């Protein structure tokens, strides 16, 4: 991969659509575009930035498509290089024909994420913002898109930069303290970095506390429906989805494997899973379904435990609930149309909704309890209301490492021995390096390769 090459790729999704876009980026973008485009004078290379030109893409004198050409000159473009976007008619064939002409003119096919990678390498985006581009493309809810957009706008980067600057300022103060070993004569040289490090530590804690929220919003909360056989689990799945996804039958053991479907609740993306009924059975196939159900139940962010409220509370239901945390469980007391022998008051601390799913009654209560539990579960620590968008797992791992180094530095400084400033300074340098890896102030090529390999070609 060379930044000196001019790259090209289709920037729109495959399939039918109103337009298709072929994007070029690199020093020769305008020159290569001129080779394949017939348009009124002046030539593309003589036109100013941020202009749109009407023309035709040609192949050996034959028109391939009628197009609009967008000219964006360096450094004020997405990649920081000269960029040309050719907008043709939608459809796979038209886009491929335009791309073929551009490649024959001398462009190179872009690799996955190479446009955004160039934006990062050219200083248009930092690494946190570059990751936000992928999050925005993959957003499965309004909430996920809002979070990604805030990150792309730089709110999360600002928070990381503030932490980095605080660490470096404290390290500088400690370096000054090394020049004045008699700290009793200059107590402020130690007191100032101590106070600064406590503030930095609080900021790290606040950001780290947003990790679980970020995980849920990006990946979706795993919500598992389970319970005994023939209590209405599949009916609950179908009712929440508002279409018939699972087979519903009065015959126990109908569901032999778990069924997973995407679902969105008040902006929270959810992976909704229906499982096999938990019961004793002689069927080898059904036992395997139950084993798989237990595996996915153990990983769930939220449990929807369905019970037949028209029957007395069974020992099996009590046993199943006892091993579930009330904060991660909503009990659905179904079949109330047949009578109610179990009430929420019988469940000792577990939130429950009385429903008749066949009559679509009580579903609002189920949704409300789900929302309440998921929001509470996403708040994993002392997050401040002004804390910016939620961090990713990569950010979290590096933040944890940075926080450990900051805690070690504080512990050393509190010991107040002669070598304390030197040892603490080393810890702060390590902490700052972790933060630098998050935002891309320093980076390993393998890390950049791994991040941008997840992008699609053309982004």
Over residues 300-350, the pLDDT tens digits come to 899 999 999 999 988 888 888 888 888 899 999 999 999 999 989 988 889
The arithmetic mean of pLDDT across residues 84-110, rounded, is 94
Report the pLDDT value the prediction gives residue 53, as an integer from 0 to 100. 95
Report the pLDDT value the prediction gives residue 250, as an integer from 0 to 100. 56
Cα 230 to Cα 278: distance, rounded to the nearest angstrom: 10
Read off the pTM: 0.81
Report the pLDDT value the prediction gives residue 356, as an integer from 0 to 100. 93
Report the pLDDT value the prediction gives residue 189, as an integer from 0 to 100. 64
Report the pLDDT value the prediction gives residue 382, as an integer from 0 to 100. 45
Report the pLDDT value the prediction gives residue 380, as an integer from 0 to 100. 57
Band of residue 385 on the pLDDT scale cut at 50, 70, 90: very low
| Mean of pLDDT over the chain | 86
The arithmetic mean of pLDDT across residues 229-234, rounded, is 85
The arithmetic mean of pLDDT across residues 185-214, rounded, is 84
Q: Is the pLDDT of residue 71 over 90?
A: yes
CA-based nearest residue to 252, from 279, 274, 272? 279
Report the pLDDT value the prediction gives residue 213, as an integer from 0 to 100. 86
The correct answer on CATH 3.30.1360.120 for the domain covering 7-124 is yes
Torsion sign across C-alpha atoms 140, 143, 149, 152: negative
The arithmetic mean of pLDDT across residues 185-204, rounded, is 81
Query: Percent of the chain scored above 70 by pLDDT?
Result: 88
Cα 373 to Cα 329: distance, rounded to the nearest angstrom: 8
Q: Is the pLDDT of residue 280 over 60?
A: no
Q: Is the pLDDT of residue 149 over 80?
A: yes
The arithmetic mean of pLDDT across residues 215-235, rounded, is 87
Band of residue 383 on the pLDDT scale cut at 50, 70, 90: very low
Report the pLDDT value the prediction gives residue 391, as an integer from 0 to 100. 84
| CATH class name, domain 222-378 | alpha beta
Q: Is the pLDDT of residue 291 over 70?
A: no
The arithmetic mean of pLDDT across residues 385-394, rounded, is 72
CA-based nearest residue to 39, from 86, 73, 109, 4? 86
Q: At how many degrees (to 10) do helices 420-439 and 393-415 cross? A: 170
Q: Is the pLDDT of residue 185 over 50?
A: no
Cα 411 to Cα 38: distance, rounded to the nearest angstrom: 70
CATH 3.30.1360.120 residue spans of the chain: 7-124
More confident of the two residues 389 and 25: 25
CATH 3.40.50.300 residue spans of the chain: 222-378
Give phi and psi for 303, each to the nearest 5: -105, 135
Which range, of 78-82, 173-177, 270-274, 378-382, averages the lowest pLDDT? Answer: 378-382
Instruction: Please state whether 321 falls in left (phi above 0), alpha (psi between -120 and 50) or beta.
Output: alpha
Q: Is the pLDDT of residue 184 over 80?
A: no
Report the pLDDT value the prediction gives residue 4, as an integer from 0 to 100. 76
The arithmetic mean of pLDDT across residues 110-125, rounded, is 95
The arithmetic mean of pLDDT across residues 31-37, rounded, is 95
Q: Is the pLDDT of residue 183 over 60?
A: no
The arithmetic mean of pLDDT across residues 196-207, rounded, is 93
Report the pLDDT value the prediction gives residue 194, as an integer from 0 to 100. 86
Band of residue 106 on the pLDDT scale cut at 50, 70, 90: very high
Which range, of 150-159, 222-231, 392-401, averages the lowest pLDDT? Answer: 222-231
Residue 75 burial (C-beta neighbours within 10 Å; 0-12, 13-18, 19+): exposed
CATH 1.20.120.430 residue spans of the chain: 133-210+386-440
Band of residue 229 on the pLDDT scale cut at 50, 70, 90: confident
Which range, of 23-32, 152-161, 294-303, 436-445, averages the lowest pLDDT? Answer: 294-303
Q: What angle do CA 134, 137, 140 make, to 5 degrees?
A: 115
The arithmetic mean of pLDDT across residues 168-181, rounded, is 78
Report the pLDDT value the prediction gives residue 458, as an integer from 0 to 100. 84
Q: What's domain 133-210+386-440's superfamily in CATH?
A: tRNA modification GTPase MnmE domain 2 (1.20.120.430)
């Amino acid at each position: 991969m060379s930044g000196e090459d001019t790259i090209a790729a289709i920037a729109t999704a495959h399939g039918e659509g109103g337009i298709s876009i072929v994007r070029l980026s690199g020093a020769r973008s305008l020159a290569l575009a001129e080779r394949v485009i017939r348009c009124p004078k002046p030539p593309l290379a003589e036109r100013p930035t941020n202009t749109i030109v009407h023309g035709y893409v040609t192949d050996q004198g034959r028109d391939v498509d009628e197009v609009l050409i967008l000219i964006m000159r360096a450094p004020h473009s997405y990649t920081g290089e000269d960029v040309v976007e050719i907008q043709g008619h939608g459809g796979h064939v038209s886009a491929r024909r335009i791309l073929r002409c551009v490649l024959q003119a001398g462009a190179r096919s872009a690799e996955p994420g190479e446009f955004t990678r160039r934006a990062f390498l050219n200083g248009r985006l930092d690494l946190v913002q570059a990751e936000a581009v992928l999050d925005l493309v993959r957003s499965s809810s309004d909430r996920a898109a809002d979070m990604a957009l805030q990150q792309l706008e730089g709110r999360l980067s600002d928070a990381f930069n503030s932490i980095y600057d605080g660490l470096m300022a404290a390290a500088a103060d400690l370096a000054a303290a090394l020049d004045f070993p008699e700290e009793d004569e200059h107590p402020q040289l130690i007191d100032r970095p101590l106070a600064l490090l406590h503030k930095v530590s609080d900021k790290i804690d606040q950001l780290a506390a947003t990790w679980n929220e970020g995980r849920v919003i990006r990946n979706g909360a795993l919500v598992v429906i389970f319970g005994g056989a023939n209590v209405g689990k599949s009916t609950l799945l179908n009712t929440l989805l508002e279409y018939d996804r699972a087979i519903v039958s009065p015959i126990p053991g109908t569901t032999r494997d778990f069924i997973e479907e995407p679902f969105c609740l008040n902006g929270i993306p959810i992976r909704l899973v229906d499982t096999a009924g938990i019961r004793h059975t002689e069927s080898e196939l059904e036992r395997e379904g139950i084993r798989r159900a237990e595996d996915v139940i153990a990983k769930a962010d939220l449990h929807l435990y369905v019970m037949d409220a028209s029957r007395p509370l069974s020992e099996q239901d009590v046993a199943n609930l006892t091993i579930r945390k009330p904060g991660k469980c909503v009990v659905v007391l179904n079949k109330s149309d047949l009578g109610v022998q179990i009430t929420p008051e019988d469940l000792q601390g577990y939130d429950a909704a009385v429903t008749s799913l066949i009559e679509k009654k009580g579903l609002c209560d189920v949704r409300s309890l789900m929302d309440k539990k998921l929001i509470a579960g996403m708040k994993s620590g002392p997050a401040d209301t002004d804390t910016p968008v939620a961090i990713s797992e990569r950010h979290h791992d590096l933040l944890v490492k940075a926080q450990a180094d900051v805690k070690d530095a504080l512990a050393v400084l509190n010991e107040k021995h002669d070598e304390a400033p030197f040892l603490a300074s080393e810890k702060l340098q390590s902490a700052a390096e972790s933060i630098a890896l998050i935002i891309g102030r320093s980076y390993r090529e393998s890390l950049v390769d791994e991040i941008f390999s997840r992008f699609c070609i053309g982004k």
